[in-house]
Structure formats: structure tokens, C-alpha cells
Chains A and B, each alone.
Chain A
Amino acid sequence: MEQKWALADPTMGIIFVAASFAFFYFVGWYSQRAAKSSTDYWTAGRSIGSLANGLGMASSYMSLATFLGVTALILKLKVPFVYMWIQFSLSIPLITLWYGTPLRRMGAFTPAHFVRERYGLRTSYIVASFMILIMLMYALGQMIGVAKVFEMLFGINYNVALICGGALIVGYVTIGGMYGTSYNAAFQMVLMGVAFIIPLGAIMKAMGGSGWYFPPLLYADMVPAMLERVPDFFDMKYGFKWYFALIPCFTIGAMGLPHLGMRIYTAKNLKSARVAMIWFTFFCGITFSATYTMGFSGVFFQATSGTPIAPTDLDKITLILNSVYNPPWVLALVIAGAIAAGLSTISANLMAIGALIAQDIISTFKPDLEENKTKIVNYSAMAGAGLISILVALNPPTFLVVSILWAFGLAGVTVAPLVILGVWWKQANRYGAMAAALIAGGTYILVSPYVAPNLTIAGGLPAKLGMSGALLCVPLSFLLMTVVSMVTNRIPALVDKLPHEADKKLVDGIHGWTVYNEQRYNSTAAGVIVSAVSLFFVIWALMPGGW
């Protein structure tokens, strides 16, 4: 018989969570003393060292899902989901390679800042709106998750848990700005790693695993038993399109997430940003690998112990395993780690929303604000972003409570192509950018099962996660961007309306060239190749089957 799992004694958990919040507030308060200007507030004065930044990058990316959602999805999807998760580690290296360092060189606050400089105000408003929507969807999932953990921990009503928990989070993020967020995120990553990996080792030892001292990789001795009980655990049950769609949806999608790009802008210098990337891959890799082990252990536990887990409790498998195999204080540490995971992501999301509102919207209407008024705007934007997230989470509209993963695809369609081509191709112009963001973005929303269920490309899980939509719309975005740009660049009446020379010089400048050269990043052949390849993928995505 399935048993509903509940926390037996929350006292230790409350103590650990309270202590961690006290620490977050202290770090936020201490750090904010260094923030003298908007640059300090939104980019931590571009002073974060590589180790702290690498930890912060990994922490911002590792959400509450690492502790709760992922293990449930591994239980459900098994190995294909592991493939989906592995590629998330590519985000920061690809962002750094394609646009992180040029935008850091430009002194950008957010990717929308670059879009404004490159494509003009109107395009930046469209992109900033999409980014705010994406960040809100992202933050909402975390906010609801943290509220549910608070609800479970304190035994209080969901709404009370949400308002209290949300207010606590928004408070420390607003006070600390990017300085506080960065150092807190670094600490949160350490807490997450310790709270996840060490107890996992103890669980593996209790289960009889001989490689308990290094849980991320050493559980091969449990594989035969797993194959005996769950023979399909390692099966690749989907078609080629399913795995290929991970690239446009999640790999390119992650490249469009503003809160990840913003981490690179906080680096001391470009070299430090690149070294941070190495730290990111290390911390991300070790925690992700441990997550697969936790998912594996969950399936193993269910299969070997004969203890069925209620479907509603599948996302609590990390907590359940710890409550079964570890003492209460370890479970309390794990809960504190889970909350830290949620907080690090929410704080990065809120920083992105705040920066988008303050720097990419308000400052364009009021460009000459005095410094003290700018500070008020910064704090208000941050607190406002948090307040909106809490209010929306109280009674979230159905269309916003879709999978966070669907939002990745939206970022891949509306943000990534504009930024990537804007940085690397001088011929990209605002007409192409607007066509790409609006038409491809609109199509992505339209073909999702949340808006028009009859119009989906693949149906089922690929449609719900945005994979089928992204397989069509990401190449469509690149296609529109290149074709419209190339066509409009040949219409003198339209070109006259563009600051074309300034745009082209900006491209050279952000790559580090002080002497302008017309030939650089200006290949028409490259535009034609990108168009042709994109067209191929658009047609392929529309062809039925393959999932």
C-alpha cells in the first residue's frame, strides 16, 4: 500500500533554515555597503573573483528542481531525462563563447541592454518583455516550490508560507543587490553540494553500495540489481528527433536566459570570467552527476525495498531517502540545502527582472536620473519584481504554471538568436530582429499545448516541455532574422532609417577591435548558410514522426 510521506519532526529543519536565512541577510547587508552606483548594484561592481563567480553561476542554475523535481522525472523518464539534464552544463561555456565576453566588454547590465544598443529601443522593449515573462515563469516555479517546503516544514497554510517565505527572500535580495546575491549564491552552492552529496553517500552505503565515498560516479555495483528489477532503466525509448530537439530547446534556450549571462558581467575581467566557467563546469558536473545517482537510488529503493511511493510524493524522493536512511539532523540539512537551491535561483531571477525593469525600461524613459534617485529606482525595481512574483504565485494563472523547461524554449526563440547574430553578424538589423522575436516567438506560444492544443507539432511530453515547438521555432527565428535582415539591407529607404555604421562599429568594438574593419563579421555567405540550414530544420521539424 502506498504511504503518504510527511515530515516527522520539523524542529531541526526550522533551526537550520532559520540559521541559513540569518546568514543570507548578514551577507546581503555586509555586501551592499560596497554598492555605490547602479553598476555596483546590478553587476557587483564587476569585481567578483573566478571561484565565487563559478560557484554563483552553478548555484543560479541549480534550482529547487535539483533536490525535488529532477529525481521525480528520473523516476518517470529514466535515462532520457538524464540526457536532458547533462546538456544543461553547456549553458555557461556557450554563453561565454558566443556573447558573454563581448557583452562584458561592452559593459552591459543585461542582454537586453545589448539589444537596445544594437537594434534600438523598440526591439529592446520587445525582448525585455519576453525576458521578464521568462524570468517570472522561472521565479514562479521556485517561489511555489519554496512555499511548499515552508508549508511542509512549519505546518502552515500555503498562502502564509508563500508570503512569509517570499518576503524573506525578496528582502535579502533587495538589500544585497548583485554583491549580496553573488556571495550568497556562492555559499548556497557549497551548502547545496554538502547537503546533497554527503547524505547521498550515506544512503548508498546503507543500500549496500561499495562506492559510497564518491556517489556521483561510483555506483556500478548496484547496476546488476537494477537491471534485474527495472530492465528498462537504461533504455533509450524515444526517437532521434526527441534527443536532437534538446539542442534548440534547452542548449540554445539556456543561452537566452538573462540571469545566466548576467553572471558573466559581474566578473573582474574577461580572463576571470573564463576561469569561472571552468569552476562552473566542475560544480555543476559533480552536483548533476549526484542528482542522477539520487534518481537511480530512488528507482533502486522503490524496486528493491518493495516500498511504493505515492505519485504525488515522487518529487520528494530525496527527502524520503534521507528520512529512511539518515538521522533527522541530516534531513534538516538537506531541507536547508533544498531551500538554498530555490533561493539562489529566485534571487538570480529577481536580479534579472529588476535589472530589466530599472536598466532596460525605466532608464530609457529617464536617462538622466540623479544617482540617489537611480538608487531608489534600483531598490524599487527589485522589491517590485519580488512583490509581483509573490502576488502571482498566490493564485497563479494556469498559463504561467507550465513547466519551467517550456520557458527555456521561449528564451531560445526570442532572445538567443537576436543576441548571437547581433554579436557575430553585422548585417543583422532591427527589422530582422523584430520579425524573429515577434513571429517566431508568437509561433512558439501558438504551437504550445497550453494555448492551442490542436496546433502542437508533436503532442505529448515534447510539446509540453516545448521541445517540438523549439525544434520548429528556434531555426525559424534564425531564418527570419537572416532573411529579413539581408532583404531589408538592400532596400535603401529602410537602410536609411538605421544607424547602420554605428551598429557595425559596435560589433567590432565589443570583440575588442579599436580599428574598424568593414570585412569583419560581415559575410553574406554566412547569412545565406545560416538561412539554408535553418530552413532545413524548419522543414524537418514540420515533418511528422521521429519522436
Chain B
Amino acid sequence: MNERSLTLFCCTVSDNKTHFFFKRSLEGSAIPCTPTSFLETWFLPRTSLSGHNYFKLSKRRSSPTATNNEKFTTCQQQHSNKSTSYLSINPKGYPAILKEAKMNKAYKKEIWYTLGFTVLLLMSGHLGLLFVAFPALQGHMIFGFPSQYIIPVIMGWLGLMVIVTIQTVLTNRLDDEIEKMDGVVDEI
């Protein structure tokens, strides 16, 4: 089935908690879909220089409204490959579906940062394992010391500092992203 030939129905209850998403094929059958799938196919969030967010929408059938105070919004959009328009919405007025997509992205980022930095930290603090696993690496003189001594010492201090600095910058930035989406950075 060609995704781009689908007619979409999006029904959003604006209490920001309940969303129903349906894709419908041209033949008329309705297919329930997840918000992420819906968004990944049809909405490409962008940020302009003025700080406003733009949602890529169908030109032929634009959404009736997308305001901050919407009580109940229904939109039916048919995507066109050739012509698109952009609807500007104030960042404070994120539609719930977009917010959820961003949250999912931030959540995945959080998981990957945690796993990735754990691997890097373990590597920097346990480089000795490398020299045990591959004895051929031992005995080379680096900065006047045997390699199996000085590399773990330097990586366990200076290498670790570099990793921790990057970790600090990225995780602080991630917290900012979550905060912008109504999250709580400090105490709950």
C-alpha cells in the first residue's frame, strides 16, 4: 500500500491525554495507527529562525484550526507530494500529538545517552581488561611507561574527564528539552 495515497483522519481531544489516530486508505478502510507512526509519515516539525514551529500540512485540505485553546479539533488531510504549505503555531501551543512525538524522541535519547555513556565510562575505567584480553598490547613504552600502565591511568583520569564533560553537556541539554515539553527538571 502506498502510504502517501492515504487519507488521514486525526481526532484529538485537547486535554492532552487522549488521542485517536486513524489512517484510511483510498479504498475506504480505516486503519488505526500510533501517534508516532502518524507523525513520522505526515508531520515534519521544524523550527524557524523566529522560534516558531511549523508543521508540514496538506495544502489541499488544511486543518480547520490548531489553536492554543482548542476544545476539540478534527482534521482531515490528504497529503500531496507536490505542494505543501506551512502552518505557523506558537511553541506554547503545541498540538498534543507533536508534543508526544517530541517526548518519545527525548525518551529514546535519554535511554541511548544512558547506555552509551555507561559503555564509555566503563571503557575508560576498565581499560586494563583490554590488555589482559590482548596481551600483545602490553610492554610497549608510551611516554616512558609500559603501555598497560599509563594508558589505563590516563584514560581513568583525563579520558574520564572528557567523557564526563560531554555527558554533562548533553544530559543538561536533554533536561532542557524535557522541560520545554512541560517536564520537571528539578524537584517533582
Contact = CB atoms under 8 A, between A and B. Distances in A.
Contacts of B171: 97, 101, 274
Contact of B125 (A80, A86, A223, A515): A86
Interface string B126-163: 10110111010010000111101100111011101101
A239 B133 CA distance: 9
Nearest to A514: B182
Interface stretch (A243-251, A377-385, A479-487, A534-542): A243-251
Interface in A46-83: 46, 79-80, 82-83
Given A105-B186, A234-B149, A269-B186, A94 B107 contact: no
Q: Which 8 A-B pairs have the closest CB atoms?
A: A220-B144, A285-B157, A86-B156, A83-B128, A87-B125, A90-B125, A512-B183, A274-B168
A79 B126 contact: no
Interface residue tally on A, bucketed by range? 35 or more
Contacts of B31: none
A271 B172 contact: yes
Contact of A221 (B107, B138, B144, B186): B144
A79 B103 contact: no
Interface string B158-186: 10110111011001100100110011111
Interface in A84-125: 86-87, 89-90, 93-94, 97-98, 101, 104-107
Interface in A255-281: 269-271, 274-275, 277-278, 281
Secondary structure of the B contact surface, majority rule: helix
A424 B187 CA distance: 18
A500 interface: no
Contacts of B65: none
A517 interface: yes
A281 B124 CA distance: 12
A132 B70 CA distance: 54
B152 A86 contact: yes
A93 B126 contact: no
Given A98-B114, A221-B144, A105 B188 contact: yes
Nearest to A88: B125
Given A97-B114, A289-B157, A511-B110, A251 B122 contact: yes
A278 B165 contact: yes
B117 interface: yes
B145 A87 contact: no
A57 to B, nearest CB: 12
A512 B122 contact: no
29 contacts: A79-B149, A80-B128, A82-B153, A83-B126, A87-B126, A89-B125, A90-B121, A90-B122, A93-B160, A93-B167, A105-B185, A105-B188, A107-B187, A216-B157, A217-B153, A234-B149, A240-B133, A243-B129, A247-B126, A270-B186, A271-B172, A277-B164, A282-B161, A289-B153, A424-B114, A512-B185, A514-B184, A515-B16, A517-B100
Given A86-B125, A220-B144, 10 more contacts: A46-B187, A97-B118, A217-B154, A240-B132, A251-B125, A274-B172, A277-B164, A281-B160, A285-B161, A511-B110
B17 interface: yes
B172 A281 contact: no
B183 A275 contact: no
Contact of B168 (A46, A217, A269, A278): A278
B146 A234 contact: yes
A50 to B, nearest CB: 10
A82 B186 contact: no
A94 B175 contact: no
Contacts of A246: 126
A236 B121 contact: no
Contacts of B107: 513, 517, 520
Nearest to A242: B132
A414 to B, nearest CB: 21
B95 to A, nearest CB: 14
B143 A220 contact: yes
A123 B19 CA distance: 38
Interface in A503-527: 509-515, 517, 520
A292 interface: yes
Interface string A146-166: 000000000000000000000
A105 B178 CA distance: 13
Contact of A510 (B124, B125, B188): B188
A246 B129 CA distance: 10
Q: Identify which of B131, B160, B167 gathers the most chain A CB atoms within 10 Å of its CB.
A: B160
B48 to A, nearest CB: 26
A288 B152 CA distance: 12
A510 B158 CA distance: 31
A103 B100 CA distance: 24
B121 to A, nearest CB: 5
Contacts of A90: 121-122, 124-125, 160
A286 interface: yes
Nearest to B117: A97
A513 B157 contact: no
B118 A275 contact: no
Contacts of B168: 274-275, 277-278
A283 B131 CA distance: 26
B183 A89 contact: no
Contacts of A217: 153-154
A244 B103 contact: no
A239 B178 CA distance: 45
A97 B167 contact: yes
A82 B164 CA distance: 21
Contacts of B152: 82-83, 86
